[in-house]
With several copies, the nearest count.
Chain A
Amino acid sequence: MSILVNNDTRLLVQGITGREGSFHTTQMVEYGTNVVAGVTPGRKGQEIAGVPVFDTVQDAVEATQANTSIIYVPARFAPDAIYEAVDSGIELVICITEGVPVNDMVPVYHYVRQQGARLIGPNCPGLITPGQAKVGIMPGFIHKPGKVGLVSRSGTLTYEVVNALSEAGLGQSTAVGIGGDPVIGTSFIDCLALFQEDPDTEAIVMIGEIGGTDEEDAAAFISANVTKPMAGFIAGQTAPPGKRMGHAGAIISGGAGTAAEKMKALEAAGVRVAQSPSQVPGLLQEAMSA
């Protein structure tokens, strides 16, 4: 088992003929992901890594019954790509694209929810169920199938923690990068709820960072709903206030959104919070045997 993506995933790539899209399609196909279709308007009939290209998502879904879509189009086309996917019946949309204006994402967020679909990202590395489906830009080989669910706002930092987990013999059920923007489709809480319900996830790792209060909200959710052992890490203990740390959402503003508050909230919710990514596997094992 796993959450969101698995062997039943029939993946569509929006923006498949672009530089990023074609590169990562090849990578995903090589990993074994069931990539069934790609879309670039006007490129019908082409193939990328053996995957047929269509003009519209509607055509692609009709021809291939794709149920999941990953988006690699430039930022100014990303909201339209998300609408196209959702309106064509795609249930799970992963938007890798970085740099989408926040004002564009506000209506997108609410529209996607209203239509009953799920969006992950934007500005995220995607998600992976090791051994089944890699739907994103993460290096597949560092992941090992297993029982640890991982959810993170970060990219490379996630790989760091996944690598440490795998080396410690802690494989992953699914690892989800939810993205570093202020408005993202899927939150920590959404993923924690899915992991809590997933019978094959036995423990959960959560990687947060400065900015917003999603970690605090997650802590409240954990106290009330999560019974599985958890470890976590929050990046940005040394970040100054008022400065954006790379991610559009990683900013301490008006004194709110500090790492200290987030760590405190998670600890109070029973999550073992690491000082350094390397401590995560040890803390998780502690939690699992507690």
Chain B
Amino acid sequence: MNVHEYQAAKVLATYGIPVNPGKVASTPDEAEAIARELGGTVVVKAQVHTGGRGKAGGVKLAHTPVEAGEAAAAILGMDIRGHTVHKVLIAKGADIASEFYLGVVLDRPNRKVLVMASAEGGVEIEEVAKTNPDAIVKRLGDPLVGFRPYQAREMGFEMGLPADKINGFAAIASKLYDVYFNEDATLVEINPLILTGDGQWLALDSKMSFDDNALARHPDTEDMRDLNEENATELEAKRNGISFVKLDGTIGCIVNGAGLAMATMDAVKLHGGEPANFLDVGGGANASQVAKAFTLVTADRNVRAILINIFGGITRGDEVANGIREALGQVAVEVPIVVRLSGTNAEEGKSILAEAGITAVTSMDLAAAEVVKAANG
């Protein structure tokens, strides 16, 4: 789960990390009032769950409250990489002397948590990794005794920080590691972390993602969820125990198992089609789950045909077939359906579907070819 910049800043502040004070506005009037309250030059920033705001014109400097209102008017409602701007953050303009990057993320190969920093702040870390990998300094937290202050100091010295800035940097890095662990984040990033003209550390912009599997123990985090930023269909799927990801193609996919669902998308592509979604219906594949899957898939107007790919394991093919028939009685599906059934009682299942006038085959490749033909036909 992702949160907005202003929400991430609040989390950082509760850990004692110095952030640039600001407030959120939903209207130009609110923005103007906040700018007046803050005084001086402010920056108006689009609050959306995506990067590239600056390039898209979602970040504007305003020298007066009126300018702030105008900037907010321009940004609110803007579409940035498919995200509509509903809120802007109004924050005091900062006196930036130097910019840094500081981030904490899981290091999968080592099964440890990685703290990364770079003196090339304000640039995406992936970009720095490509253009100047030596500029990134890294330390792994020990899984059992954590991230130690000396590691943070080493990072500061390696980045070439002056001696009197080392302890301040180390304190922020240690606190950011605590944020990652205590809040069950999957990513926390301050970019840029700045030194101001008068030598103070300040987290100017930050980003956080949280482990969905740990949200149950973090009700405060769940409260930060912005439904505007989430795909309604994906949320609806999740509530029903279905994994769903919307894609741009025309062929709806309903599959049991995440790996098989990806492989099914790949097969559609291999046979010349484009998948409209990733959908893992979960273990059971019973009538109500399949009916829910139909509803999710057919909500997408681009879908021109549906491929159901079920490998019967513990769940038998005939049960699945009956489930599909039943689901079709509950949900009106107006596009062609191709079913691929394999594994336990696949033949019985195919007979049941044939009786209902539904094409059912054994081979996944054949099913993919058929569904592409159906979508184009």
Contacts and interface: CB of A to CB of B under 8 A. Distances in A.
Interface stretch (A5-13, A55-63, A191-199, A222-230): A55-63
Interface stretch (B35-43, B63-71, B195-203, B258-266): B258-266
A173 interface: no
B126 A142 contact: no
A64 interface: no
Interface of A: 27, 41-44, 55-59, 75-77, 80-81, 83-84, 87, 99-111, 137-139, 141-142, 152-160, 163, 180, 182-183, 207, 209-210, 212-214, 217, 233, 235-240, 243-250, 254-255, 259, 275-278
B115 to A, nearest CB: 14
A160 B149 contact: no
Given A102-B213, A246-B278, A276-B267, A156 B112 contact: no
Given A155-B257, A213-B108, A238-B262, 11 more contacts: A41-B157, A58-B154, A103-B184, A107-B144, A157-B262, A159-B313, A236-B265, A240-B247, A246-B278, A249-B108, A275-B270
Q: Please list the 6 inter-chain residue pairs (A to B) with the smallest Cβ-Cβ separation, ordered nearest first.
A: A154-B259, A156-B257, A246-B258, A157-B259, A42-B163, A139-B313
Contacts of A235: 259-260, 262-263, 266
A275 B265 CA distance: 12
The residue in A43, A101, A183 that gathers the most chain B C-beta atoms within 10 A of its C-beta is A101
Contact of A239 (B129, B142, B166, B262): B262
A210 B213 CA distance: 19
Nearest to B346: A163
A27 B260 CA distance: 23
A163 B311 contact: yes
20 contacts: A42-B164, A55-B157, A56-B153, A58-B154, A83-B145, A100-B213, A101-B214, A101-B217, A102-B186, A106-B111, A107-B144, A155-B258, A157-B262, A212-B108, A236-B266, A237-B269, A245-B261, A245-B262, A276-B267, A277-B364
Given A102-B213, A160-B263, A210-B262, A81 B278 contact: no
B259 A139 contact: no
B135 interface: no
B256 A238 contact: no
Interface string B264-290: 011111100001001010000000000
Interface of B: 106, 108-109, 111-113, 125-126, 129, 142-145, 148-150, 153-154, 157, 163-164, 166-167, 181, 184, 186, 211-214, 216-217, 243, 245, 247, 255-263, 265-270, 275, 278, 280, 311-314, 342-344, 363-365
Contacts of A152: 259
Nearest to A236: B262
Contacts of B184: 101-103
Contact of A80 (B125, B150, B245, B267): B150
A182 B106 contact: yes
B213 A56 contact: no
Given A111-B145, A157-B260, A106 B112 contact: yes
Given A56-B157, A246-B278, A81 B261 contact: no
Contacts of B144: 107, 110-111
Nearest to A246: B258
Given A42-B164, A103-B184, A239-B262, A156 B313 contact: yes
A100 to B, nearest CB: 6
Contacts of A255: 126
B222 to A, nearest CB: 14
Nearest to A247: B258
A118 to B, nearest CB: 14
A107 B143 contact: yes
B266 A159 contact: no
B221 to A, nearest CB: 12
B364 A238 contact: no
A102 B367 CA distance: 37
A280 B255 CA distance: 20
Of B111, B149, B259, B260, the most chain A CB neighbours within 10 A belong to B259
